Amino acid sequence: MARQGVGRLSHSVCLVLTCLSLALHLILALFCLSVLQTSCVIPPPSSCSSSLSFPGTVPHGKQGRSHSLSSQSSSHKLPVSRMNGDFTKMAAHIDHNVEASFNIVNEKEKDKNQWISSRSKLEALFSHPLYNLPRKHLLEDDWLLKLKPKNKGGDSEEEDEEEDSDKSSEDSESADTHPAWLRYHLGISRWELYDRNDPSVAEVTQQMATQRILSAVQKSGGTQLKLIMSFPNYGQALLKPMRQERDAETDFNLFYFSDFERHNAEIAAFHLDRVLGFCRIPPVVGRLINITREIRAITTDHKLSRTFFTSPVGNLCFHGQCEYYCSTENPVCGRPQVLEVSLASMLPDLSLAPRRSWRSPWRRSYSRTKLAPWEKNPDYCDTVKQTPPYNQGTRLVDLIDMVILDFLMSNMDRHHYETFEKFGNDTFLLHLDNGRAFGRHSVDEPSILVPLRQCCRIRRSTLMRLRLLSLPGFRLSDVMRESLSQDPLESVAPLLSVQHLSVLDRRLKTILKAVHTCLEHHDDVIHDDLQGYDVNLYRH
């Protein structure tokens, strides 16, 4: 009996020890699992922003805007979900010149998570081969301006030879000492107004936005008020004031020639022209100015100074003198003295670089009752193609480039265009005076695209860029939003409303559809300006 009792007791003890051991193992397993889960928690998004900030895009020390990668989301941050892989290793591949980060987007239509990089779409666009085509070799006569060589003493041939051999090095050294305005003007060539990578263009833009204004006088001519502002180092800019709210659409009861010009349209046109790869609009920037200190107190224009007055609510206003919209009924007013303006860099003086004004073949009648010839004759382009300068060279496809720009921003006011006289007919067109663009976003104006539909001609490089901008990774509205974020006025309010940005994608589809229709019915549609290049390198 005693042996049986001892056996039962030892058996019970073994069972208890076994249960305790299992319980301890279970507790240990739960503890380890909790530790592993805690170590796999992703850092909060505040430590790795999902947006980009770009060097040089934060004007006057203010924080720039960031933009979501998703075109359908109004949020500037991406949702965070589970992440696979080592975040630190992934972050090591980020370009050190750009603050970038990676987050995870949980797409509803997919069962798995995927990485989405917050790389700049604008940066990716300008890195594409289509925006880095080999430049044409420029001869001495292909530059608009050139500096006169310095006169040095010495008559010997050896000194002359030494001077010639050192000329290139001296020019490169002296170029850095010239004012940015002069370097920008010296960079104008037969084929483009400026090189997108030219640092002097960014310097000119920055100086217009920040430098002290020395004088302000009214520009003669024109239907609306414009001022010429002078800066240190002989720089000058054309000022257009804010006349209406940015999101105000043009009244549908007004004719195309009856609307106010928009300061933000001038700024947006410069950025759109640059995004399209044209580089034919002088640099434009927005600025907040004090009407008292930066116009009234420094102007020497007595006709302008006599038009200042204080409105019933205490705002300082003026109206200047011009053909239309310069009266006390249509004044320019500050809030109470601060005014939003656009500043467009002036081209070289006409005495140095004369320009020729050309009447557009598709000019509107500017009449409330009459139609222009191109509106009545569907074969109008056949006549244009036989008329100089459109019967040879690139003038016709140059004009089609301008038509595409105007249709995208709904500019119906293109009655003339200009070229530099020095280059004759073999040069680019200047895309000047875009203040009546971006007036309506709810409707498109198909008549602007008539030259493309009638002529069915387009550059290959232009077409390939348009197709590139229609892709999600380079969406036109996204790169325009990003480009406009670099302007100082973007910190006040978006330069273009969401509606004006989204309509760019819709109008781009209309252009591509028109080209597709031309290709179906005509053979000689594409002007191959990429001949000699490997086109496959530029496909997307």
Q: Which residues are annotated as a binding site for ATP?
A: 224, 240, 261, 344-347, 418, 433
Cβ neighbours of residue 471 closer than 8 Å, sequence gap 6 or more? 540
DSSP E strands: which ranges in 106-181?
A: 114-117
Q: Which residues are catalytic?
A: 413
For residue 500, give the 3-state DSSP assignment: helix
Point out the annotated binding site for Mn(2+).
261, 433
Candidates 66, 504, 56; CA nearest to 269 is 504
Supply the angle between the helices 263-275 and 395-409 in degrees, to the nearest 10. 130
Cα angle vertex 421, ends 417, 422, to 5°? 140
Cβ neighbours of residue 270 closer than 8 Å, sequence gap 6 or more? 281, 282, 283, 284, 344
Residue listed under structure tokens 């805690």 = 38
DSSP bridge partners of 333 = 317
Buried b (16+ CB within 10 A) or exposed e, 114-152: eeeebbbbbbebbebebbeeeeeeeeeeeebeeeeeeee
Candidates 254, 256, 207, 210; CA nearest to 234 is 207
Q: Rounded to an integer, what distance in angstroms lies between the CA atom of residue 257 and that of residue 259?
A: 6
Point out the annotated binding site.
224, 240, 261, 344-347, 418, 433
Q: Are 448 and 412 in contact (CB under 8 A)?
A: yes
| Burial bucket for residue 297 (CB in 10 Å: 0-12, 13-18, 19+) | exposed
Candidates 29, 446, 495; CA nearest to 272 is 495
Q: Are 194 and 184 in contact (CB under 8 A)?
A: yes
Q: Are 494 and 340 in contact (CB under 8 A)?
A: no
Tell me the three-class secondary structure of 361-400, residue by residue. Answer: CCCCCCCCCCCCHHHHCCCHHHHHHCCCCCCCCCHHHHHH
Residues in the chain: 540
Largest alpha-carbon pair distance within the chain?
136
Q: Are 309 and 333 in contact (CB under 8 A)?
A: no
Q: Rounded to an integer, what distance in angstroms lies between the CA atom of residue 101 and that of residue 332?
A: 44
